[in-house]
Amino acid sequence: MKHTPLCIAALVSVLLLSACDKTPKTDIVAAETAVEAKAIPGYSPTQFYATKSYLGNDINHKADALLVSSDETGVFNLYKVSLDGKTWTPLTHSTTESILPVGWFPQDDRVLYRADQGGNELHHLYVRELDGSVKDLTPGDKHKAEFVGWTDDNQFWVMSNERDPKFFDLYSYNSTDYQRILVYQNNEGYDIGALSDNGRYIALSKERTNADNNLYLVDLQSADKTPLHITPHQGNVSHGIYGFSRDNNQLIFGSDEKSEFSEAFAYNIDEKALKPYSKADWDIMYIGFSKDNKYKVEAVNADASTKISITDQSTGKALQLPELPAGDLRDVTFSDDSQYLSFYVNADNSPSNLFVWKLSEPKAERLTQALDKAIDESVLVKSEVVRYPSFDDLAIPALLYKPKQASNSTKVPALIWIHGGPGGQSRTGYSPVIQHLVNQGYAVLSVNNRGSSGYGKTFFHLDDLKHGEDDLQDIVYAKKYLQSLDWVAADRIGVMGGSYGGYLTMAAMAFTDEFKVGINIFGVTNWVRTLESIPPWWESFRESLYAELGNPAVDGERLRRISPVFHGDKVKKPVLVVQGANDPRVLQVESDEMVAAIRAQNVPVEYVLFPDEGHGFMKKENRIKAQEAYLAFLQKYL
């Protein structure tokens, strides 16, 4: 199980002519492929980002509206959406900061939401009153706060690091006057994972390494609130908290102690006993329950796709969903009485669209059209799950996107996309970055190099203390795989990625001579500085980071050896660097120095800096500018 932070290709069909046709078949294939390629419209970044993105789908207490955030105006704002999708009432009008939904109050239409400042990740929690006024519930300029949950007494609970920047304490808020009480002072660096509905118990996690952690239970009604260790074990075992049962007597959590993958277990609080709860062939990602406890929702990470099952707990039978478009379900949410179900459906070739289903009806209602009407959905490409051998014959999973323009007579350039993490995962689902590049005729191979989550604990830990080495070879062998495809231009292959993927991109450009171009999106280039300057609120998993990446005080020599900024003289091919100035994870100085090191060698390097973004770009205008930069760079050099 992971603790590191988050396409069958649509083939061009070629008609075969009957045997009586005298025209050589190869000429016909080439001619028809060319015609078909011309028929494929190429869309601009602006058209792709005219697509709307949606977040949140909480159903209010009267079951007549949803709380949704949309970036239709350019930044995310909140809307009250009727259950039939016909009425969208704006609740916020931000022009600068993205407004991210938390949820409705349990008994009225007040709203909780969160926002940071320019991407600095110092999120505050806000309440929007019924009259439209807004109150910052966690004021201050140097701390962050996160919503934890509601309890049965209609109090809401928040964790904040204002007392100690390194650790998060737990507060309960009165939902009437917003007065708060410090309920649990976190002096030992636990991570708060779940709160029981009755407000009596919290579940905590304590990291030891990136392969081992422990779970604890705290009875908040006890005198000393001493954490009770509930996962004694031998060796390295990773645990993840799913949540409490609705009767407040069980904690459901994941563990990889008995399997390569995360299985679910239930800890009975009264009996202090542990028993198996659920298992699958892949990691169980999530287990939750409808508010009335009628339904259980379970999500499994099945070979880079999310598979949702919903079970009627009274009968043990699966809930049969109505006919839906192809894709993965996300954010499954019930109304308080389980009469309504809201969710998103997302696919490689279709961004997330919001649905509402009244369970007594045969059909679910689609409330949104996320993809801009100027784009023909049939032009977009589905990925294919592939595996290729690396240098040591390890099978590396990846998602392959084949442009519809591509054929063995029309070879296309290709890009290797590397996810963040380092323990992230490239997963199926809509990506405007990837879909736009594929639409423009670039093949994309989204690689899940060793160290990626989702493929078992052994695979996940294969890159520990080997970053920029063995995982970099997985990227090199991804190129070899692409070169084996008869529709890829073998001499025009580049590499790109964000965050840790940006690091591996720069490592590929500095430490190999394999790739024609590299696009580094806020990637780490100096591991010593990055690990010495992690945000204070990451303190609870500092040792976990060190176990995976190295301790700069001990492993400084190796970290410098794998840090591209110290090897700028080795970069010989063009590079594009994209960075947010407010990034608290990968500081701007990382990209500044990398660009300077490349320029000193008179190697082409382009730099795009967004002064109002952090680790990821939230403003639609900036996402368009970044995409325009990617395309212009690739058209120029690849």
| Per-residue pLDDT at 509 | 98
Supply the mean pLDDT for the chain. 92
In a domain, 105, yes or no: no
| Per-residue pLDDT at 23 | 34
Task: Give tens-digit pLDDT for 271-285.
Answer: 999 999 999 999 999
The single-letter DSSP state of residue 46 is H
**What pTM does this model have?**
0.91
Residue type at position 180: R
Task: Determine the Cα–Cα distance for residues 126 and 374; give it in Å rounded to an integer.
Answer: 36
Q: Which of 60, 59, 120, 70 is nearest to 99 (CA)?
A: 70
In a domain, 230, yes or no: no
The least confident of 176-180, 407-411, 536-540 is: 536-540
Task: Determine the Cα–Cα distance for residues 119 and 61; give it in Å rounded to an integer.
Answer: 32
Q: What percent of the chain has pLDDT over 70?
A: 94
In a domain, 506, yes or no: yes
Q: Mean of the pLDDT values across residues 251-255?
A: 98
**Whose structure tokens read 């409330």?**
367
Joined tokens for residue 479: 């190129």
| Per-residue pLDDT at 14 | 23
Q: Which of 2, 72, 7 is nearest to 444 (CA)?
A: 7
Nearest 5°: CA angle at 370, between 453 and 113? 70
Q: What share of the chain is helix, strand, coil (3-state, %, to 5)?
A: 20, 35, 45
Q: How confident is the model at residue 560 (pLDDT cuts 50, 70, 90)?
A: very high
| Per-residue pLDDT at 538 | 82
| Per-residue pLDDT at 22 | 33
| Domain harbouring 547, CATH code | 3.40.50.1820
Joined tokens for residue 332: 């499954």
Joined tokens for residue 474: 């997985």
Q: How confident is the model at residue 35 (pLDDT cuts 50, 70, 90)?
A: very low
| Per-residue pLDDT at 18 | 27
Q: How confident is the model at residue 611 (pLDDT cuts 50, 70, 90)?
A: very high
In a domain, 234, yes or no: no
Task: Give tens-digit pLDDT for 67-100.
Answer: 999 999 999 999 999 999 999 999 999 999 999 9
Helix (H) or strand (E) holding 559: helix 556-561
In a domain, 86, yes or no: no
Q: Mean of the pLDDT values across residues 597-614?
A: 96
Is omega for the bond preceding 227 within 30 degrees of 0, making it cis? no
Q: 13 versus 134: which is more confidently predicted?
A: 134
In a domain, 557, yes or no: yes
Strand order in the sheet with 201-209: 191-195, 201-209, 212-219, 228-229
Residue type at position 400: L
Per-residue pLDDT for 597 more than 70? yes
Per-residue pLDDT for 628 more than 90? yes
Per-residue pLDDT for 2 more than 80? no
In a domain, 462, yes or no: yes
Task: Give tens-digit pLDDT for 185-237.
Answer: 999 999 999 999 999 999 999 999 889 999 999 999 999 999 999 999 999 99
| Per-residue pLDDT at 275 | 97
- What total number of domains does the chain contain? 1
Residue 492, helix vs strand vs coil: strand
Per-residue pLDDT for 28 more than 80? no
The least confident of 4-13, 408-417, 594-603 is: 4-13
| Per-residue pLDDT at 482 | 98
| Per-residue pLDDT at 13 | 26
| Per-residue pLDDT at 17 | 24
Domain that holds residue 29: 25-39+381-637
In a domain, 555, yes or no: yes
The single-letter DSSP state of residue 414 is E
Joined tokens for residue 206: 């304590």
Per-residue pLDDT for 534 more than 90? no
Residue type at position 532: E
* Residue 392 CB burial class (10 angstroms; 0-12, 13-18, ≥19): exposed
- Beta strands at 239-244 and 228-229: parallel, antiparallel or unpaired: unpaired
Task: Determine the Cα–Cα distance for residues 106 and 102; give it in Å rounded to an integer.
Answer: 12
| Per-residue pLDDT at 24 | 34
Task: Give tens-digit pLDDT for 321-359.
Answer: 999 999 999 999 999 999 999 999 999 999 999 999 999
The least confident of 127-131, 392-396, 552-556 is: 552-556
| Per-residue pLDDT at 540 | 81
